Chains A and B, each alone.
Chain A
């Protein structure tokens, strides 16, 4: 683990919306590191704050406290213009809903070239066209699609346009905000394989936000489980699936549908009950219970979890 380079560091990240009495804390004291070239997944139920974390990294949502460090440089808060552009070129995002995240009144040619125009990343018009053609063929679309509008495409094609738009910037880090949850099941694999292909070819680091654990198991190297804005457990994928400790993780894993109807029928669902935690005296914090396996717990719970691990 130690030989891997930390590319993204999130420290004590908190994000609140609203002000005064209506304040809502979406993300509380979140800490995690992302290593270069890995796929880091953030999973949790709807409203748990996973998208907010992703959006905070690309700086759509401002932080209320904490900091985000990318490549040893602080990228949260106010940035100089050069830093701002550097961050944009290095960190790109794929959005959840391909129908809403593409400008319906622009051609595919403009949508994909948008980043190129912004930073003048092309030598001349021919170079730009060549780059757009290349980006389209990288995601399996045809050059003839350039003059088309987003509404003429299927959901999977649109999401691939969204990926091409991000990848043409040649980013080092890609935030994929539930890129497949709005897609038809039959084309989800296509988009996932595409992300894997880019990762292999370009040593891309991916922060993958999702709620589908079977997809996450397929694509990610490490998983952070988030509940009500707080990371409750963080571990490598197989470690998390085999040795889950936190009751919320257990409950989440028990909810994954199994393809065998016989087993599925006899499967026992674990319902997460927050009252099992007694945090009145013994306050919880984020502990590394075993190398690479972090958990949100207090001292009493840690003892219990340690016993479970043995």
Chain B
């Protein structure tokens, strides 16, 4: 061994700065994580099939609860589920299969639109509410007042004032729910509001709306997905509940809630009339909820580390 066996090599500084790991992409990681759960894939298929059937089947069946062509035909009533009538027929001889999907369609429309309105309004208001201390002082008082009015009472008053109907029901549900979502988002924003990178952005003179969009919103994706996955089944249950107590959709429009209410009297004699809509409603709730929760987990970047 001697020194002449060694030579000096040039240190390449830029080479040590190189990052060898593959490019990170947020949404790619979200989907990779989501599709790694078999239950979530199964539930996604269930939810997607329910959506497809609910929006396509009524186009062909043209089901309308006010049209009862077999009302005088005794042989058509209370047929148990069989190969022709998959879900059987009801007290006026209409196919329950047609009725259920028409009802599901209406319930889904109500739930999805109400969720969209609630989420958009709640997230926008909630972000400013959580970020601005001045706005918080006013909003928290408004929230305290409205949060203490019973939800059912408020919806009933609204439905009696504006009359029954799909648009009115969506309005009543959104009006009563967006403040809750806003409050939920407010708390989340307050947690991350004074983190150091937000101070850094303020030091750089970033306007509030851009801080909210770039520094706050990306951190909320996971909680927003959680809120959506909670709201969709919740609004379906609300619709079922409100129609059941008679302030939801009128009997002229098909809805899962109205159907469950109407058929609840046959729980003893023709129980399939009651249980099939209940099961469909539960299917939708569970599948949407599990898909949403898995997506919420997947959209939290802490789960992306392998």
Task: Tell me if chain B binds chain A.
Answer: yes
- The one of A60, A165, A169 that contacts B199, using a Cβ cutoff of 8 Å: A60
Which 10 pairs between the two chains have the least Cβ-Cβ distance?
A105-B218, A88-B205, A100-B196, A115-B204, A101-B196, A103-B197, A118-B205, A101-B200, A93-B203, A114-B204
A119-B215 in contact given A105-B301, A140-B17 (Cβ < 8 Å) = no
Per-residue CB contact flags for chain A residues 108-142 toward chain B (1 = under 8 Å, else 0) read: 00100011011100000000000000000000111
Interface presence of B18 (CB below 8 A): yes
Which one of B19-27, B62-70, B101-109, B178-186 is at the A interface? Answer: B19-27
A148 to B201, CA, bound (A): 19
A-B contact pairs, 5 of them (CB 8 A): A60-B199, A88-B203, A103-B214, A114-B204, A145-B17
Interface presence of B219 (CB below 8 A): yes
* Cross-chain contact A142 with B14 (CB below 8 angstroms): yes
* Cross-chain contact B210 with A117 (CB below 8 angstroms): yes
Which one of A12-20, A149-157, A197-205 is at the B interface? Answer: A149-157
Contacts of B134 in A (CB 8 A): none
* Cross-chain contact A142 with B13 (CB below 8 angstroms): no
Which of under 10, 10 to 19, 20 to 34, or 35 or more describes the interface residues of B? Answer: 20 to 34
* Cross-chain contact A102 with B207 (CB below 8 angstroms): no
Interface presence of B37 (CB below 8 A): no
A115 to B206, CA, bound (A): 7
Per-residue CB contact flags for chain A residues 68-106 toward chain B (1 = under 8 Å, else 0) read: 000000000000000011001100110111001111111
A89 to B203, CA, bound (A): 10
Contacts of B197 in A (CB 8 A): 100-104
Interface presence of B195 (CB below 8 A): yes
- The one of A60, A89, A145 that contacts B202, using a Cβ cutoff of 8 Å: A60
Interface presence of A26 (CB below 8 A): no
Q: A140-B17, A169-B204 given. 11 additional CB < 8 A pairs?
A: A85-B205, A101-B200, A104-B301, A105-B219, A106-B214, A106-B218, A114-B204, A114-B206, A115-B205, A142-B14, A157-B17
Interface presence of A147 (CB below 8 A): yes
A141 to B207, CA, bound (A): 28
B40 CB to closest chain A CB (Å) equals 23
- The one of B23, B196, B204, B206 that contacts A97, using a Cβ cutoff of 8 Å: B196
B221 CB to closest chain A CB (Å) equals 9
CB-based A-B contact count at 8 angstroms: 84
Contacts of B206 in A (CB 8 A): 114, 117-118
Contacts of A58 in B (CB 8 A): 203
B174 CB to closest chain A CB (Å) equals 29
B249 CB to closest chain A CB (Å) equals 42
Which chain B residues numbered 269 to 306 have a C-beta less than 8 Å away from chain A?
Answer: 301
Q: B residues within 8 Å of A by Cβ?
A: 13-14, 17-19, 21, 23-24, 26, 195-197, 199-207, 210, 214-215, 218-219, 301
Which B residue sits closest to A141, measured CB to CB?
Answer: B17
Contacts of B207 in A (CB 8 A): 118
* Cross-chain contact B21 with A152 (CB below 8 angstroms): yes
Q: Which of B19, B203, B214 has the most CB of A within 10 A?
A: B203
Q: Which of B23, B26, B200, B205 has the most CB of A within 10 A?
A: B200
Contacts of A145 in B (CB 8 A): 17, 19
A254 to B301, CA, bound (A): 46
Which A residue sits closest to B15, measured CB to CB?
Answer: A142
A165 to B218, CA, bound (A): 20
Contacts of B215 in A (CB 8 A): 103, 105-106
Contacts of B203 in A (CB 8 A): 58, 60, 88, 92-93
Q: Which of A114, A119, A147 has the most CB of B within 10 A?
A: A114
Contacts of A88 in B (CB 8 A): 203-205
A133 to B143, CA, bound (A): 48
Contacts of A114 in B (CB 8 A): 201, 204, 206, 214
Which B residue sits closest to A175, measured CB to CB?
Answer: B203
A100 to B198, CA, bound (A): 10
Contacts of B202 in A (CB 8 A): 60
Which B residue sits closest to A106, measured CB to CB?
Answer: B214
Contacts of A148 in B (CB 8 A): 19, 23-24
* Cross-chain contact A149 with B24 (CB below 8 angstroms): yes
Which A residue sits closest to B194, measured CB to CB?
Answer: A60
A153 to B24, CA, bound (A): 12
A104 to B219, CA, bound (A): 9
A85 to B207, CA, bound (A): 11
* Cross-chain contact B199 with A103 (CB below 8 angstroms): no
Which A residue sits closest to B198, measured CB to CB?
Answer: A103
Contacts of A95 in B (CB 8 A): 196, 199-200
A145 to B24, CA, bound (A): 11
* Cross-chain contact B17 with A110 (CB below 8 angstroms): no
A149 to B25, CA, bound (A): 9
Which A residue sits closest to B305, measured CB to CB?
Answer: A151
